[in-house]
């Protein structure tokens, strides 16, 4: 009988796997936690690293806990349910600090308290995979299996709102009745404050016999059925046609945001409110200031900034989100305070940036790729000869990130080249039980 290798877990990586070093190799071990001693079995081996699964936990972490979801370990939707909630947040904070130093060569002057909220039922946006698999009993609806393109065999989900979790089995039964049973790969879920929408991604047209089934499902479960046949511009309501629109609100700022089911909004509405409060505290917008909100989306940060009385320019690459932001500004009586422009911020240059005029402060909320071209467009603190030069640009930058490695890279540019101080940083636990790390950082001109 082969003796399995033993590893001492040193940290967690960005996928929530335990990291160890054995015989000069880095080993990434799924299912292992910091401080544990485990045996493992590798399923991928390279010259400098291996990817493995834990076999036995010889010395368990005091933070190891029993996963709440019965599908954990098979479903790929969550990676950290076996780690106590407080331990998850602490691990994400350590990952942020490590990336800041190892990638950006910067350290925050202060680590802010983490932002976190409800651990379960938080996910108000989701894309559920659909597949007809007769060998597994029929139609499957859920997330992918872990490290696989197969759809997980599941009948509930603890991170979806209870109402949506309870729809998984009825959705399986519904799809089994449809003519498009083999041409419906995805159902997108969007939960608003007054409506719930299910968008069926269909590759062939629905048939007349499908209509009664869809209408009965919508009526029984209190949801709206929409369809999408091709790109985002083909998303349209199917039944009912006169249902209430999707929206979310920010009561602290007396704001309401309408949105379409496939448009980007934060998946965790509770954390979004707390995150906005933290961002506004750090940005501290004033009435006489001009502020830029880069990657503004539908104005999630733009409109709260405008509520302060500041003049705000929101810039975003998606034309549909810019249109939605303009709509929300008018709805909330802020059209005179804000301006929105469509722009590809991944192609920013110093010349283009200067044409926007001067700003007192920036808020940046980019996608996973970060905002490298934007921050590189600011002037260097010293020229090629090492002589300090005149600087233009905002005195303060608040950066909201969904990827700690690109935040760390951009922070390195701002601090080491552009003359900013990294005053503070901290994590936002937007996606509990996953390895996904959101964070926020505050920069001031040095």
Please give the tally of structural domains in the chain: 3
* 167 and 272 both lie in a single domain: no
Return the CATH number at 380.
3.40.50.150
Burial profile 152-181: b = 16 or more Cβ within 10 angstroms, e = fewer: bebebbbbbbeebbebbeebbebbeebbbb
Return the CATH number at 150.
2.40.50.1070
> In the chain, what's the furthest Cα-to-Cα distance?
75
pLDDT value at 129 more than 80? yes
pLDDT in tens, 27-41: 999 999 999 999 999
pLDDT in tens, 240-264: 999 999 999 999 999 999 999 999 9
In a domain, 246, yes or no: no
Q: Is 62 exposed, middle or buried (0-12, 13-18, 19+ CB in 10 A)?
A: exposed
In a domain, 255, yes or no: no
In a domain, 258, yes or no: no
In a domain, 245, yes or no: no
Percent of the chain whose predicted confidence (pLDDT) is above 70: 100
pTM of the complete model: 0.94
Query: If DSSP codes are grouped into helix, strand and coil, which group holds residue 282?
Result: helix
d(CA 427, CA 274): 12
d(CA 393, CA 275): 25
* 230 and 289 both lie in a single domain: no
List the 438-445 sheet strands across, edge first: 110-111, 420-428, 438-445, 396-401, 361-364, 290-294, 311-316, 338-342
* 32 and 53 both lie in a single domain: yes
* 416 and 285 both lie in a single domain: yes
Return the CATH number at 42.
2.40.50.140
Q: Which of 106, 178, 298, 402 is catalytic?
A: 402
118 secondary structure, DSSP code: -
* 359 and 426 both lie in a single domain: yes
* 175 and 321 both lie in a single domain: no
pLDDT band for position 286 (50/70/90)? very high
pLDDT band for position 234 (50/70/90)? very high
* 104 and 137 both lie in a single domain: no
* 303 and 394 both lie in a single domain: yes
Question: How many residues does this entry show for the chain?
Answer: 446
Q: Is 296 a catalytic residue?
A: no
* 287 and 389 both lie in a single domain: yes
Tokens of 286: 């004033």
- Residue 26, domain extent: 1-64
Domain boundary among 224, 239, 254: 239
* 439 and 374 both lie in a single domain: yes
User: Which residue matches tokens 């983490």?
Assistant: 114
In a domain, 300, yes or no: yes
* 41 and 174 both lie in a single domain: no
* 309 and 420 both lie in a single domain: yes
pLDDT of residue 1: 59
Binding residues for S-adenosyl-L-methionine: 266, 295, 300, 316, 344, 365
In a domain, 260, yes or no: no
Using an 8 Å Cβ cutoff, are 227 and 200 in contact?
Answer: yes
Binding residues for [4Fe-4S] cluster: 69, 75, 78, 157
Nearest residue to 72 via CA among 111, 120, 117: 120
In a domain, 428, yes or no: yes
Mean pLDDT across the chain: 96
In a domain, 368, yes or no: yes
């Amino acid at each position: 009988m082969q003796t399995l290798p033993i590893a001492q877990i040193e940290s967690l990586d960005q996928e929530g796997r335990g990291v160890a070093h054995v015989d000069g190799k880095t080993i990434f071990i799924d299912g292992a936690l910091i401080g544990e001693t485990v045996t493992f079995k590798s399923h991928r081996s390279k010259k400098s690293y291996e990817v493995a699964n834990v076999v036995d936990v010889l010395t368990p972490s005091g933070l190891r806990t029993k996963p709440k979801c019965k599908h954990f370990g098979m479903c790929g939707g969550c990676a950290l349910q076996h780690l106590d909630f407080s331990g998850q947040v602490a691990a994400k904070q350590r990952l942020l600090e490590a990336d800041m130093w190892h990638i950006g060569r910067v350290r925050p002057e202060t680590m802010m308290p983490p932002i976190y909220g409800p651990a379960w039922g938080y996910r108000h946006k989701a894309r559920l995979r659909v597949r007809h698999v007769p060998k597994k009993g029929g139609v499957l609806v859920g997330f992918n299996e872990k490290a696989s393109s197969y759809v997980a065999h599941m009948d509930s989900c603890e991170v979806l709102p209870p109402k949506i979790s309870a729809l998984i089995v009825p959705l399986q039964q519904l799809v089994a009745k449809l003519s498009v049973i083999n041409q419906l790969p995805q159902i997108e879920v969007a939960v608003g404050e007054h409506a719930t929408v299910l968008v069926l991604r269909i590759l062939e047209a629905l048939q007349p016999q499908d209509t009664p089934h869809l209408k009965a499902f919508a009526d029984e479960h209190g949801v709206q059925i929409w369809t999408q046949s091709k790109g985002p511009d083909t998303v349209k309501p199917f039944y009912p046609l006169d249902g209430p629109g999707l929206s979310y609100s920010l009561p602290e700022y007396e704001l309401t945001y309408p949105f379409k089911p496939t448009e980007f909004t934060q998946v965790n509405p509770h954390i979004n409110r707390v995150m906005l409060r933290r961002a506004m505290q750090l940005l501290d917008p004033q009435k006489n200031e001009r502020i830029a909100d880069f990657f503004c989306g539908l104005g999630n940060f733009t409109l709260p900034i405008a509520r302060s009385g500041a003049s705000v320019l929101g810039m975003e690459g998606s034309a549909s989100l810019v249109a939605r932001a303009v709509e929300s500004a008018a709805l909330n009586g802020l059209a005179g305070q804000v301006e929105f422009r469509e722009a590809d911020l991944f192609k920013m240059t110093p010349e283009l940036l200067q044409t926007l005029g001067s700003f007192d402060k920036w808020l940046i909320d980019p996608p996973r790729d970060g905002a490298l071209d934007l921050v590189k467009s600011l002037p260097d603190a010293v020229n090629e000869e090492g002589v300090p030069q005149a600087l233009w640009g905002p005195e303060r930058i608040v950066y909201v990130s969904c990827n700690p490695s690109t935040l760390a890279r951009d922070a390195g540019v701002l601090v080491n080249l552009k003359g900013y101080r990294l005053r503070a940083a901290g994590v936002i636990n937007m996606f509990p039980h996953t390895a996904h790390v959101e964070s926020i950082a505050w920069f001031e001109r040095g």
